[in-house]
Amino acid sequence: MKTPIFDSTVDELSTLLEEGARATPRLVARFIEPMQGTLRRAQSKRHHLVFGRRGSGKSSLLYKSADALSKNGFAVAYVDLEPFKGHHYPDVLISVLLASLAKFRAWLESYDPPKSKWRWYRPWAKTVFPEKRHKKAALHDLIKQEMTQLQNQLYLTDNSKLEAKFESGAATKESSKVGASINTNLKLLDSSLEAEIASAVETSKNAETREEFRRSKIDYLHRKILDYHGIFSTLAELTGSHCFLFLDDLYHIVRADQPKLLDYLHRIAKGRNLWLKIGTIKHRSNWYLHVPQPVGLKIGDDADDINLDLTLERFSTSRNFLSQVLDSYIAEAKAPQRTELLSVGGLDRLVIASGGVTRDFLGIFRRSMEEARERLTKNPSHPRGEKISAEDVNMATGAYGDTKREEFHKDTLEDKGRLDEAFQKIRRFCLEKNKSNVFLIDQEITNEHSDLVQELVDLRLIHHVKSRVTVSARPGRLYRALLLDVSQYTGERKRRDIDMIEFWKEDREILRKASIIYEPSVSMQQLEEEIGKRDHAGKNGVGFQTQAQMSLNFEKPDSFGKQ
């Protein structure tokens, strides 16, 4: 009898998992709601900031919401902000406005105004009223006109001293390129337009200019707010409904520019039946500034938040959701059932290794299938059995750590050095000083060092496991428990005597150790001195971990669940 892991449909499953590593409009049909009510809220008439770690399902939720709203007759624009990474204000705002208007214009081209309900009284009403047709055509032309002006602004040098004459050289050529892209049949969720605009901003050059004043793009944008009000008021009047602007991956925009971008869009949207839905990583973003004057979106007043992060603190909830997502891929591939491919211990280790992040869960599972196949090819009677085991997941997790590091460098252009140093300190504390997979941080610590720790959580290099921990040796203090990503110590437990704390168990004492408290502000030099003292004590027979402390067998029935 053929082993399920070698079934030909598993190859199709692997392909689907690889394609699903990046959220695209094609994955809308496969969408599974991460938390009850999130899809309904994402489609409501309220501004929202959608928070979640990279790969947690932000884009999938926004794609699904935009698709559903568009099918229900609402005006929708979906703009991917990643192509504008590194662009600065006000050019980044002009680019986003240009992409947004282009998407709304594309939606308008496909919009068919409803016919009159009074056909028996008005025979000519078998078609759309002439004024509706005229209003749609006029609005289409108005949007096109505003887009042309925005394109021109992209190629002008801001705050330059100008004289009377202006001639465009290379900029004109690039402008026509963007215009041609905009005039094609755009898909509402396609991000190729944003890439064209971003490329044009980077490559445009200005030719000779002769004027006698200083140009200010910001002043231009301020003057245009009323014009944009008019566009969305007309759009709402034409459709008799509301408009939705989806902005995905705000964290790619320079952090100092994020509040200004959101503030401008909020000023356009206010009172115009236009609703903003912004997806971003929480601690990599800055959506509101209150000094010297309020700028941006204030949560609670201007907008609400939707948090998609399923942490390891709610292990059962995360496990159930991730299992459903995996099952949807298995069903599409018509592959053997999950229980035929994956052991209970393997599933639980997958949840831990992924930190509850959907993309990481699926990516590690795909690599785990390859590890299991390799193991069984070498030894069909391998003692770990025919299913993907926890050790297969371990091997795959180690390789997947390279993917996380690449994404870390990609997402931290502005402060990569500080974050990398903060992570290396935590890694050394866990693996060399504390020799434990979990560490504690005082909840009352609020400084730049604790902020860096939280950013590392959002970057999936450490994971939240418990929000309220007390330590008997520190009465009156509350701590957060965090897990070093499994990829950082896979295969090193025995070599380094790592104490694997089983935080998911009901044992309340397991985390209440003063020895695992980490001080984020400690310097690397101080940490190395402490590690040296511990190593010296170890050589004298003090501080060694026992075999029982370092063992963690996910295949045992009592580790997470029964086999």
| Most trustworthy range by pLDDT among 151-155, 165-169, 489-493 | 151-155
Give the residue carrying structure tokens 């887009």: 147
Residue of higher predicted confidence among 495 and 90: 90
Cβ 353 vs Cβ 391: under 8 Å: no
Mean pLDDT confidence for 506-517: 86
**pLDDT confidence tier of residue 86, bands split at 50, 70 and 90:** confident
Closest by CA to 390, choosing from 438, 342, 354, is 342
Q: At what angle do helices 258-269 and 91-110 cross, to 10 degrees?
A: 40
**pLDDT confidence tier of residue 540, bands split at 50, 70 and 90:** low
**pLDDT confidence tier of residue 187, bands split at 50, 70 and 90:** low
pLDDT score at 34: 84
Report pTM. 0.82
Cis before 294? omega within 30: no
Q: How far apart are CA 441 and CA 478, in angstroms?
A: 9
Cα angle 56, 59, 64 (rounded to 5 degrees) comes to: 115
Cα angle 482, 488, 493 (rounded to 5 degrees) comes to: 95
Residues 6 or more apart whose CB falls under 8 angstroms from that of 230 comprise 142
pLDDT score at 184: 41
For the chain, the first-to-last Cα distance in angstroms comes to 22
β-strands 212-214, 161-163 pairing:
antiparallel
Q: Mean pLDDT lowest for which of 247-261, 405-419, 518-532?
A: 405-419
Backbone angles phi, psi at 244, to 5 degrees: -130, 130
Backbone angles phi, psi at 406, to 5 degrees: -60, -45
* Residue range(s) in the chain whose domain bears CATH number 3.40.50: 35-155+182-193+219-307
pLDDT score at 539: 61
* Alpha helices in 379-411, H assignment, sequence order: 390-411
List pLDDT tens digits, range 21-66.
777 777 787 888 888 899 999 999 999 999 999 889 999 999 999 9
pLDDT score at 213: 45
| Most trustworthy range by pLDDT among 213-217, 260-264, 394-398 | 260-264
Give the residue carrying structure tokens 């309340």: 508
- Whether residue 392 is predicted with pLDDT greater than 90 in this model: the reply is yes
**pLDDT confidence tier of residue 404, bands split at 50, 70 and 90:** confident
Mean pLDDT confidence for 396-403: 88
**pLDDT confidence tier of residue 505, bands split at 50, 70 and 90:** confident
Give the residue carrying structure tokens 């010296």: 536
pLDDT score at 35: 84
Residue of higher predicted confidence among 156 and 262: 262
- Whether residue 289 is predicted with pLDDT greater than 90 in this model: the reply is yes
- Whether residue 176 is predicted with pLDDT greater than 50 in this model: the reply is no
- Whether residue 147 is predicted with pLDDT greater than 70 in this model: the reply is yes
DSSP state of 389: P
Mean pLDDT confidence for 397-417: 84
**DSSP H or E stretch at residue 467:** strand 462-471
Largest CA distance in the chain: 100
Q: Mean pLDDT lowest for which of 11-15, 193-197, 236-240, 428-432?
A: 193-197
List pLDDT tens digits, range 411-465.
787 788 899 999 999 999 999 888 889 999 999 988 899 999 999 999 999 999 9
DSSP letters spanning 148-193: HHHHHHHTSPTT-EEES-B--SHHHHHHHHHHHHHTS---TT--HH
- Whether residue 128 is predicted with pLDDT greater than 70 in this model: the reply is no
Task: Note the CATH architecture for domain 35-155+182-193+219-307.
Answer: 3-Layer(aba) Sandwich (3.40)
**pLDDT confidence tier of residue 215, bands split at 50, 70 and 90:** low
DSSP state of 342: B
- Whether residue 295 is predicted with pLDDT greater than 80 in this model: the reply is yes
3-state secondary structure 298-315: CECCCEEEEECCCCHHHH
Q: Exposure pattern of 338-348 as b/e (b: 16+ CB <10 Å)?
A: beebbbbbbbb
Backbone angles phi, psi at 309, to 5 degrees: -75, 115
**pLDDT confidence tier of residue 537, bands split at 50, 70 and 90:** low
Mean pLDDT confidence for 479-504: 78
CA distances (Å), origin 29, targets 60, 67, 334, 534? 10, 10, 16, 54
- Whether residue 309 is predicted with pLDDT greater than 70 in this model: the reply is yes
List pLDDT tens digits, range 337-372.
999 999 999 999 999 999 999 999 999 999 999 999
- Whether residue 233 is predicted with pLDDT greater than 90 in this model: the reply is yes
Mean pLDDT of the chain: 83
Closest by CA to 496, choosing from 538, 467, 527, is 538
